[in-house]
């Protein structure tokens, strides 16, 4: 409602500025150019970062409820594989429907059967992996991405990657749901106190199912565009999205226990992680150091948050 | 009579896990064309690291947290171990001790970040897990290292082989056929788990997981117990890394493997009857949870293709069924949900 | 200190405590003797619980000093207080539900073996001794807490506190969850402890308990220590006046005279949900406030939940305005065709989403009617919120501030506002005035009466006899899941309610 900027978002923005400054001074020193802040380079980073952005948007839906979706990696992969296997526009639709179905199953397991989401989605992830291994015989599928996927994931218009536009569209939808609809309000309510929401006449099971469906749909969209970016779907294409998407959501200030968080924070979290990764790669940092720095930055930011929270409450 | 009733009601999860294991493993044994101690030995070799990682996860889950760094920490100690355990004789022992210390130190660091930094365990360990993997890569950019073959052989086989290798004893008969893995496990349980569970720290861990506020009111040292729990988690993950080193003879900073172990560890804990909300369960259940999980994959190797259900025996189907069985096991709890008469009790 | 030992074991001087901007205690001096039971009285929010939290090390005072047995102490944690001989039996149980009774009793300082490990057998023996001391030999120390009833748990809690061999024992509403047999056990234990020379602080809202137990009484109000006097020095009425600081007599609005029987709004026939509810039939008319009384835990809570569609497997018929209603969820109950509302028992976990804003909490139940299609009509929402805040006189600075920043009374007003916004015509209340100040209570009574005057039907469960007497047109007494008596008009008296609650015959009433 009000346009206040939360502490985590502020800290995230400061970190983004630091990363931009550090990356730029590095390229200034080594190459004599400010490659890191050139619009071209940043757009290129966003082109690829958009896939993480879509995944994180979905992840935020379930984290807001105090749940988590560990099936995101293979939901993303499955949808992409199914879509490329079917091919054509029918393939794109089938891919999205697959995502919807997976979300439905996750939601039912968590909301109706009341299995902890952590473990239920883990099981679904394994089942999906198994299904895909079964379908492809363990080999990389040879199907090409459909035209729609190529358009969404690979192509650009006037230099703007379409994947960024897709991310913007997903973001707009998420913001609309979270701030304008009863569904969004109910999601926050359930994340804070499910019993109170239920006693207020909220159909909490439906809301939880809806959140899981939205999460899987976001993963499906990310999967389809990513397949377009790489021209095909491949095994384990989603594996590198699970932990960064959770990290992006949490770095954006969403409470991992649910109920609190703003979508703008998640966007900041995604950009932060994408820039951090690209700064480390532009510095030609070894993978080993990249991992260490990546982890250390997350810890550092979280420590700063918890300190600022403590001061705010004192 | 009352004792018996209490035993059953308070250990239902554990008993279920044991039952599942018994059914699955006896199926496996009956289908195996040449079941014997050597098969058991091989199975043990493939299971011990998972059991240890599961035990590590149990520590975190009991205090109501989750440790996503157990897999990476196992990988880190594996890489570290492939360097420090590379000598012979006494230096190997020192290397093992160094590995255990590394595991415990990393766990201690996790605990401190969680307790003093007031960060949710799942997020803190997500980040430290990345750090551990990075360090593992630093130590072993490519798989490698060779630890003493005799040593690795002797300690991953049975008692007889241990004797032969070092010339300590000859054939000990049946006793000699006991594999080393259960011996390690029993040793760890007796020397680490049992004292921990009966210490104030262990009691505190259960108390925190059950009701942290009440525990604080009762004068439980929350910070200390939590740090101890995560330190012990690190120690167990370190032990898993050590065993992996002995088993493979080398170190490998394998990120997918680390992630797989972390995720599987959560499954073993849940199948073993430990509540994800904390306070209920223990490592004995987790051991059986890991055994159940592994038994499933063992069965796939021995189902004859010609059998009525032979088509499901394809190794390609294995992950699919593993996932289904995990889902089935956890959905058993849903029976409780259907029986609930006061819907409000679903939300607590 | 060099002077002669003071007769007072506990001495507190100049104690103040601020929570954020709220002054919970201001400049309190308080002392208590050994070998006596000292009752601490006051409305909720008077500062009693802050006082005992300071004594037991849960919070540290902002200013002031405390001394035990003449030597100054300052506790930074419950552990330190416990080591100094302070034990506290809290209103909210401090038991770990998944641990055994013995583990719980010995949690602070378990007996050890020579190796320093916890000695399970010694621990069980110790638990048995302590349980025997509180007269609960029937509890198996190996049983887990979550397998025990609330009353038994409270007894374990008492045994646990005694196990620390305290010199200063604090009981905070320790009898509220007890069955009457357990209550009498606790009385004799407390008398015994007084003989042993313990210093006992007793906090309770039940006047008769205080008469029976206390040697000295201290009254707190608005964070200040008002007065301390010996037992018998003041009458009940005088004590109540000290507590609320004004005359109690015109707290309740006048009940309207009724000539014709009201049109029925809610008819319940043969409602059964074993074992808690047995063949309950009742009717609430439009404009009527019907009270539900009885001892705690006789099925009152379940009755309200059953009507609101929370319970599964309820038998019997429910008619709303004459129409049979099949309500299977709160979401159904709140629909305009039934128009039910439930003000739940526990504001913090069932009534509110504490970290969410006041505005969001007020509209969460009525959102379906504040939306156009899929979208919340934000201007309509804002308007309704303003109206409600004004009508309920909710004291709030920023509507976007978390509801947790409001006082208990204003929080309860938010819960009520949430339901009024749905246009509910049948209002079920589950002990709504627990833990809120007298002023707000009074506003709630007036609100209920004015809602009734507008034709709402109100079913009002409360543990406070005064509210049954002062607020309700009729009172139904539940005992063991069944309605054992209906009191109307002048028959609604404290004596009748008490004896009906115990299922004793009442003169002149059927």
| Residue B120 contacts A, CB cutoff 8 Å | yes
Backbone angles phi, psi at C144, to 5 degrees: -80, 150
Angle between helices A182-192 and A162-180 (to 10 degrees): 70
Nearest to A182 among C349, C371, C400 (CB): C371
Which 3 state secondary structure label does DSSP give B240? helix
CB C414 within 8 A of CB C389: no
CB C261 within 8 A of CB C288: no
**B206 vs B278: CA distance, rounded Å:** 7
- Whether the per-residue pLDDT at A167 is higher than 80: the answer is yes
A192 → chain C, closest CA residue: C353
Range with the poorest average pLDDT among A220-229, B24-33, B315-324, C125-134: B315-324
C368 → chain A, closest CA residue: A182
pLDDT at A303: 87
pLDDT at C3: 46
CB C249 within 8 A of CB C255: no
CB C79 within 8 A of CB B175: no
Share of chain A above pLDDT 90, in %: 45
For chain C, 510 residues long, the average pLDDT of each consecutive 10-residue run is 63 84 82 90 76 89 90 88 88 82 89 87 92 88 86 88 90 76 85 90 76 86 86 79 67 78 90 90 92 85 93 92 91 92 88 92 92 89 92 85 84 92 93 76 89 92 84 90 89 82 69
- pLDDT tens digits, residue range A124-157? 998 998 888 888 876 766 778 888 888 888 888 8
* Contact: C353, A259; criterion CB under 8 Å: yes
- pLDDT tens digits, residue range B281-320? 899 999 999 999 888 888 877 776 666 565 566 667 777 8
List of residues 6+ apart from A259 with CB closer than 8 A: A64, A66, A188, A191, A192, A193, C353, C355, C356
- Region B231-245: mean pLDDT is 95
- Radius of gyration of chain A from Cα atoms? 20
| Partners of C269 in the β-ladder | C317
C131-158 burial, b at 16+ Cβ within 10 Å, e below that, comes to bebbbbeebbbbbbbeebeebbbbbbbb
| Residue B267 contacts A, CB cutoff 8 Å | yes
Share of chain B above pLDDT 70, in %: 95
Nearest to A201 among C334, C351, C363 (CB): C334
- pLDDT tens digits, residue range B120-138? 898 899 899 999 999 999 9
pTM of the model: 0.84
Q: DSSP characters for B82-116?
A: HHHT-S-THHHHHHHHHHHHHHHHHHHHHHHHHHH
DSSP state of C118: B
Mean pLDDT of chain A: 88
| Residue B311 contacts A, CB cutoff 8 Å | no
**Distance (Å) from the alpha carbon of B253 to chain A's nearest alpha carbon:** 10
pLDDT band at A101 (very low <50, low <70, confident <90, very high): very high
| Partners of B251 in the β-ladder | B144
pLDDT at B318: 75
pLDDT at B312: 60
pLDDT at A178: 94
- Region B188-208: mean pLDDT is 93
Angle between helices A204-229 and A162-180 (to 10 degrees): 170
pLDDT band at A2 (very low <50, low <70, confident <90, very high): very low
User: How far from chain centre, in Å, is Cα B22?
Assistant: 19
List of residues 6+ apart from B204 with CB closer than 8 A: B215, B220, B221, B222, B224, B225, B228
Backbone angles phi, psi at C269, to 5 degrees: -130, 125
**B75 vs B80: CA distance, rounded Å:** 9
pLDDT band at A4 (very low <50, low <70, confident <90, very high): low
pLDDT at A223: 94
Which one is predicted more confidently, B2 or C372? C372
ipTM summary value: 0.84
**Alpha-helix residue ranges (DSSP H) falling in C163-228:** 180-195, 207-213
**C83 vs C108: CA distance, rounded Å:** 9
| Partners of C459 in the β-ladder | C290, C428
Closest CA to C282 of C260, C306, C252: C306
- Whether the per-residue pLDDT at A96 is higher than 60: the answer is yes
Integer angstrom CA distances of residue A173 from A16, A263, A266, C377, C497: 25, 11, 14, 17, 58
Cβ-Cβ contacts under 8 Å between A and B: the total is 165
Q: Of chain B residues 145-184, which have a CB less than 8 A from chain C?
A: none
Closest CA to B288 of B107, B20, B108, B67: B20
Mean pLDDT of chain B: 87
User: How many other β-carbons are positioned within 10 Å of the β-carbon of residue B191?
Assistant: 10
C305 → chain A, closest CA residue: A199
Q: Of chain A residues 186-215, which have a CB less than 8 A from chain B?
A: 194-195, 198-199
Preferred mutation among A2, A173, A178, A200 to probe C, highest tally of C CBs within 10 A? A200
* Contact: A185, C331; criterion CB under 8 Å: no
Which 3 state secondary structure label does DSSP give C220? strand
pLDDT at B346: 79
B2 → chain C, closest CA residue: C140
Closest CA to C458 of C215, C265, C246: C265
- Whether the per-residue pLDDT at A313 is higher than 80: the answer is no
A312 → chain C, closest CA residue: C20
* B75's tokens: 């990988």
pLDDT at B88: 78
Q: Of chain A residues 111-130, which have a CB less than 8 A from chain C?
A: none
């Amino acid at each position: 409602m009000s346009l206040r900027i939360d502490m985590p978002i502020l800290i995230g923005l400061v970190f983004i500025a630091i990363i931009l400054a550090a990356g730029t001074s590095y390229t200034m020193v080594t190459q004599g150019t400010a490659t890191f802040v050139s619009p071209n380079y940043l757009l290129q980073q966003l082109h690829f970062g958009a896939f993480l952005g879509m995944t994180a948007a979905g992840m935020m839906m379930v984290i807001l409820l105090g749940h988590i979706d560990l099936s995101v990696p293979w939901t993303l992969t499955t949808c992409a594989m199914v879509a490329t296997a079917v091919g054509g526009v029918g393939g794109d639709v089938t891919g999205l429907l697959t995502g919807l179905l997976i979300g439905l199953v996750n939601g039912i397991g968590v909301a109706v059967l009341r299995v902890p989401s952590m473990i239920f989605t883990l099981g679904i992830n394994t089942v999906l992996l198994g299904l895909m291994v079964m379908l492809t015989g363990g080999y990389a599928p040879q199907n090409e991405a459909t035209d729609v996927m190529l358009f969404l994931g690979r192509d650009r218009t006037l230099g703007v990657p379409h994947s960024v536009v897709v991310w913007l569209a997903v973001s707009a939808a998420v913001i609309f749901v979270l701030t304008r609809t009863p569904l969004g309000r109910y999601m926050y309510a359930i994340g804070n106190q499910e019993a109170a929401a239920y006693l207020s006449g909220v159909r909490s099971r439906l809301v939880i199912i809806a959140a899981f469906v939205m999460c899987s749909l976001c993963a499906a969209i990310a999967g389809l565009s990513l397949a377009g970016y790489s021209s095909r779907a491949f095994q384990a294409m989603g594996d590198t999205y699970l932990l960064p998407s959770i990290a992006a959501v949490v770095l954006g200030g969403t409470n991992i226990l649910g109920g609190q968080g703003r979508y703008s924070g998640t966007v900041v979290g995604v950009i932060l992680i994408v820039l951090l990764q690209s700064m480390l790669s532009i510095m030609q940092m070894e993978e080993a150091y990249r991992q260490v720095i990546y982890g250390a930055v997350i810890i550092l930011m979280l420590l700063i948050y918890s300190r600022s929270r403590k001061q705010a409450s004192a | 009579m009352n004792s018996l009733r209490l035993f059953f009601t308070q250990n239902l999860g554990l008993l279920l896990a044991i039952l599942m294991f018994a059914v699955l493993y006896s199926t496996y044994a009956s289908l195996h064309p040449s079941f014997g101690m050597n098969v058991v030995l091989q199975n043990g070799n493939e299971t011990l690291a998972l059991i240890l990682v599961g035990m590590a996860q149990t520590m975190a889950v009991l205090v109501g947290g989750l440790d996503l760094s157990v897999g990476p920490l196992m990988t880190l100690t594996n890489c570290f171990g492939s360097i420090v355990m590379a000598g012979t004789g006494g230096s190997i022992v020192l290397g093992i001790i160094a590995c255990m210390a590394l595991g415990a130190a990393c766990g201690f660091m996790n605990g401190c970040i969680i307790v003093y930094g007031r960060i949710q365990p799942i997020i803190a360990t997500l980040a430290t897990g990345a750090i551990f993997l990075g360090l593992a890569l630093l130590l072993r950019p490519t798989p490698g290292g060779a630890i003493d073959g005799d040593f690795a052989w002797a300690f991953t086989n049975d008692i007889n082989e241990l004797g032969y290798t070092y010339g300590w004893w000859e054939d000990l008969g049946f006793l000699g056929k006991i594999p080393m893995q259960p011996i390690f496990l029993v040793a760890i349980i007796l020397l680490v788990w049992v004292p921990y569970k009966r210490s104030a720290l262990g009691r505190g861990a259960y108390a925190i997981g059950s009701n942290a506020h009440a525990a604080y009111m009762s004068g439980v040292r929350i910070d200390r117990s939590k740090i101890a729990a995560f330190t012990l988690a690190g120690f167990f993950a370190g032990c898993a890394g050590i065993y992996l080193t002995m088993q493979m003879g080398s170190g490998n900073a394998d990120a997918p493997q680390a992630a797989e172990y972390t995720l599987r560890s959560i499954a073993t804990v849940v199948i073993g009857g430990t509540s994800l909300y904390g306070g209920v369960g223990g490592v004995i259940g987790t051991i059986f949870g890991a055994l159940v999980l592994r038994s499933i994959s063992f069965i796939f190797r021995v189902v004859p293709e010609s059998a009525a259900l032979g088509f499901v025996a394809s190794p390609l189907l294995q992950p699919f069924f593993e996932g289904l069985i995990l889902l089935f096991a956890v959905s058993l709890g849903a029976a409780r949900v259907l029986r609930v008469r006061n819907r409000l009790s679903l939300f607590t | 200190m060099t002077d002669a030992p003071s007769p007072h074991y506990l001495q507190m001087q100049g104690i103040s405590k601020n929570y954020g901007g709220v002054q919970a205690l201001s400049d309190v001096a308080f002392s208590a003797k050994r070998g006596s039971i000292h009752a601490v009285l006051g409305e909720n929010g008077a500062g009693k619980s802050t006082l005992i939290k300071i004594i037991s090390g849960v919070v540290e005072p902002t200013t002031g000093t405390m001394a035990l047995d003449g030597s100054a102490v300052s506790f930074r944690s419950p552990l330190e207080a416990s080591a100094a001989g302070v034990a506290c039996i809290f209103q909210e149980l401090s038991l770990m539900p998944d641990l055994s009774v013995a583990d719980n009793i010995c949690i602070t300082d378990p007996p050890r073996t020579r190796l320093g490990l916890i000695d399970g057998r010694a621990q069980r023996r110790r638990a048995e001794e302590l349980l025997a001391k509180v007269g609960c030999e029937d509890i198996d120390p190996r049983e887990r807490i979550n397998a025990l009833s609330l009353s038994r748990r409270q007894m374990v809690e008492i045994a646990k506190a005694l196990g620390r061999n305290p010199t200063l024992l604090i009981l905070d509403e320790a009898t509220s969850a007890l069955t009457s047999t357990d209550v009498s056990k606790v009385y004799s234990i407390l008398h015994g402890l007084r003989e042993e020379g313990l210093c006992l602080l007793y906090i309770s809202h039940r006047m008769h308990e205080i008469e029976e137990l206390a040697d000295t009484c201290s009254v707190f109000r608005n964070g200040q220590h008002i007065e301390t006097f010996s037992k018998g020095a003041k009458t009940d009425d005088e004590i109540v006046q000290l507590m609320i600081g004004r005359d109690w007599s015109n707290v309740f609005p006048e009940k309207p005279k009724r000539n014709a029987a009201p049109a029925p709004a809610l008819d319940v026939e043969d409602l059964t949900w074993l074992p808690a509810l047995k063949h309950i039939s009742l009717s609430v008319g439009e404009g009527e406030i019907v009270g539900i009384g009885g001892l705690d835990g006789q099925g009152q809570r379940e009755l309200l939940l059953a009507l609101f569609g929370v319970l599964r497997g309820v038998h019997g018929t429910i008619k709303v305005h004459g129409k049979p209603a099949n309500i299977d969820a709160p979401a159904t109950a709140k629909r305009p065709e039934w128009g039910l509302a439930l003000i739940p028992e526990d504001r913090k976990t069932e009534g509110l989403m504490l970290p969410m804003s006041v505005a969001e909490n007020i509209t969460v139940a009525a959102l379906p009617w504040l939306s156009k299609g899929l979208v919340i009509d934000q201007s309509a929402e804002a308007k309704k919120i303003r109206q409600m805040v004004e009508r309920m006189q909710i004291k709030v600075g920023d509507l976007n501030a978390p509801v947790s920043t409001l006082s208990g009374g204003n929080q309860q007003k938010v819960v009520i506002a949430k339901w009024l916004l749905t246009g509910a015509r049948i209002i079920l209340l589950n002990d709504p005035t627990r833990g809120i100040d007298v002023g707000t209570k009074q506003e709630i009574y007036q609100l209920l009466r004015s809602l009734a005057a507008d034709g709402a039907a109100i079913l009002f469960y409360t543990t406070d006899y005064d509210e049954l007497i002062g607020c309700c047109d009729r009172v139904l007494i539940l005992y063991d899941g069944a309605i054992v008596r209906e009191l109307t008009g002048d028959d609604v008296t404290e004596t009748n309610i008490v004896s009906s609650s115990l299922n004793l015959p009442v003169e002149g009433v059927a």
